[in-house]
Structure 1
Amino acid sequence: MIDDLYSARILGLAANMPRTGRLAAPDGSGEAVAKLCGSRAVVDVVLDQNARIVDFAQTVKACALGQAAAGVLGEVIVGADVAEVRRARADMAAMLKSGGEGPTGRFEGLRALKQVADYPARHASTLVALDATLNAIDAALASRTRRAG
């Protein structure tokens, strides 16, 4: 059963995580930690004037599931607007916790992690990169508001 969770697709995503590292001058940085397992993600973002992500970097220390989710995120995040990322996080949580179908559009690749729904102890790790991304976006938006105010 647990072998089904770590499919070739998931292991491939985890092994080939794009956009790793840190940005030299991010608009915002965010961190998230899955308390149960210690999985951790740190994300840097640069937003354009329309709050679209134009640059992104991530440092993820997580199990294969968390790394796989970060792999999908790194592949498709550039060009996404804040609302898309928030919707992807909500759809991902619904997929894991309440039988939802999962994210659509650019984030549809996260559906590869649908079977994680059967393993509640793995949910937080699977969400850690998205949570760090939202924290980075919130930091960038807060910084923008302070500069404008």
Structure 2
Amino acid sequence: MNAPLYNKDILRLAASIPHHQRLPDPQASVEKRSPTCGSRVTADVQMTGGRLSDMGLDVKACALGQASAALMAGHAIGLTADELADARDKLAAYLAGTSEDLAFWPGLAVLAPARGYPARHASIRLGFEAIADAARQADA
């Protein structure tokens, strides 16, 4: 394992994904897959009053994708579809090198070493993309 990418904090997050059960009756479900590595995240959501009220995740990804999904799931409840889409877009901008901002989401600094590994970016974005897209569908 590459120490800068796969450290204890990443592995701890990867092993503790909140909301790791699919919802029995979601308002929307979205599956996102990385063509680079085959990682996959399926997100089920319930929206109440325009805010994410419940989610369920099925995460089949590398440790970085799992850690990112854990960070997303740990702080997404209560946010609007627009706020979730904004977080998705900010994460993509950070990974692409067009932004230095990581303060938009708690805990993301742990993923900073992966910025230099573009082949890992798609997996890292999956959880944010799936939840943002599912919330948008459910809110429509």
Instruction: Give the alignment's TM-score, normalised by structure 2.
Output: 0.92
User: Which of the numbers 83, 105, 108 marks the counterpart of 2:106?
Assistant: 108
Which letter does structure 1 place at the counterpart of 2:110?
Answer: A
Map of 1:23 onto structure 2: 23
The residue aligned with 2:8 is: 8
| Local SS of the residue matching 1:5 | coil
Paired with 2:135 and 2:119, the residues of 1 have a C-alpha distance of 26
Q: Percent identity between the aligned chains?
A: 39
Where does 1:33-48 land on structure 2 (aligned, <5 Å)? 33-48=33-48
Number of the residue aligned with 1:146 = none
Question: 1:100 corresponds to which letter in structure 2?
Answer: S
Alpha-carbon displacement from aligned partner over 1:25-73 (angstroms, at most 9, x marks no partner): 1111111000010000000011112x21000110000000000001111
Q: CA deviation at 1:111?
A: 2.6
Aligned to 1:129: 127
Poorly superposed stretches of 4+, deviation over 6 Å: none
What per-residue deviation string (whole Å, max 9, x for no partner) do you get for residues 100-147 of structure 1? 234435x222232111110000000001111111221232134xxxxx
User: Contact 2:75–2:106 at 8 Å: present in 1 too?
Assistant: no
Instruction: Using structure 1 for the length normalisation, give the TM-score.
Output: 0.87
Greater radius of gyration (CA): 1
Structure 1: state its 5+ residue gaps. Answer: 143-149
Q: RMSD of the TM alignment (CA)?
A: 1.6
Distance, in Å, in 2 between the alignment partners of 1:41 and 1:19 is: 12
What CA distance in whole angstroms lies between the structure 1 residues aligned with 2:137 and 2:123? 21
Q: Is the 8 A contact 2:44 2:134 kept in 1?
A: yes
- Opposite residue 7 of structure 1, the aligned amino acid is N
Instruction: Tell me which residue corresponds to 1:84.
Output: 83
More helix by share: 1
